[in-house]
């Protein structure tokens, strides 16, 4: 004689339809609130990308701001003073390797230079920098143009005259002229 498997009666749980509607509306409202309200931390500007018109010209300021949910998104740009160091010491520079400059002097000698560049972005220019250069402006602008300006100035002088304050000022002014066109501010 074979026996049939035993069937269990599970208790029926009834959830009121009003509770399900309430929870669905609550979840939808929470998603909308978190997609609408954005916080911009101190020392940053919020660059707004609008799906209809692209990058907006006016950045979001520090603090709480409101966006159109699912239509606008924000990218944070650091507007604080930043430093980019090019050094021979592996543990010092922005790159964790020898990033110092080898430059020829006017008398044909090679000199090795460690340099630091201080820069920042004006908050009102953050949308322009984001749109024209991109978020990796340090690798695209700061590093290559600083290195080229330093090499150019060093090549004008002999090895004994390279390490003077006047040369540093000349490098700074040459780099500032070019980089300021891209709306990035070099600091002394």
Entry pTM: 0.74
Which numeric CATH code is attached to 82-187?
Answer: 3.30.479.30
Q: What is the mean pLDDT of residues 96-123?
A: 84
What is the predicted pLDDT for the residue at 42?
95
What is the predicted pLDDT for the residue at 48?
96
What is the predicted pLDDT for the residue at 94?
64
pLDDT of 66 > 80? The answer is: yes
% of residues, the chain, pLDDT over 70: 87
What is the predicted pLDDT for the residue at 186?
78
Alpha carbon separation from 38 to 44, 66, 74, 84 (Å, rounded): 13, 6, 8, 29
Name the residue ranges covered by the structural domains of the chain. Answer: 17-78, 82-187
What is the predicted pLDDT for the residue at 12?
72
What is the predicted pLDDT for the residue at 9?
67
Query: What is the sign, positive or negative, of the torsion defined by CA atoms of 70, 72, 77, 79?
Result: negative
Tell me how far apart the alpha carbons of residues 169 and 181 are, in angstroms, rounded to a whole number. Answer: 19
What is the predicted pLDDT for the residue at 111?
84
- Where do we find the tokens 């021979």? 88
pLDDT of 177 > 90? The answer is: no
Residue 82 burial by Cβ neighbours in a 10 Å radius (0-12, 13-18, 19+): middle
Which residues sit opposite 9 in a β-bridge?
A: none
């Amino acid at each position: 004689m074979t026996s049939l498997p035993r069937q269990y009666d599970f208790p029926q749980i009834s959830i009121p339809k009003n509770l399900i509607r309430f929870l669905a509306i609550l979840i939808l409202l929470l998603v909308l609130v978190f997609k609408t309200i954005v916080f911009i931390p101190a020392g940053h500007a919020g660059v707004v990308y609008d799906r209809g018109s692209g990058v907006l010209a006016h950045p979001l300021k520090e603090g709480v701001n409101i966006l159109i949910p699912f239509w606008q998104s924000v990218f944070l740009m650091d507007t604080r003073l930043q430093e980019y160091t090019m050094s021979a010491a592996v543990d010092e520079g922005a790159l964790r390797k020898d990033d110092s400059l080898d430059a020829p002097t006017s008398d044909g000698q090679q000199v090795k230079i460690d340099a630091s560049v201080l820069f920042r972005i004006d908050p009102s220019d953050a949308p322009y920098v984001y749109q024209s250069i991109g978020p990796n402006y340090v690798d695209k602008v700061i590093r290559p143009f600083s290195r080229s300006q330093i090499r150019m100035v060093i090549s004008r002088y002999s090895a004994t005259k390279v390490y003077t304050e006047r040369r540093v000022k000349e490098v700074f002014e040459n780099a500032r002229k070019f980089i300021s066109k891209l709306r990035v501010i070099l600091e002394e």
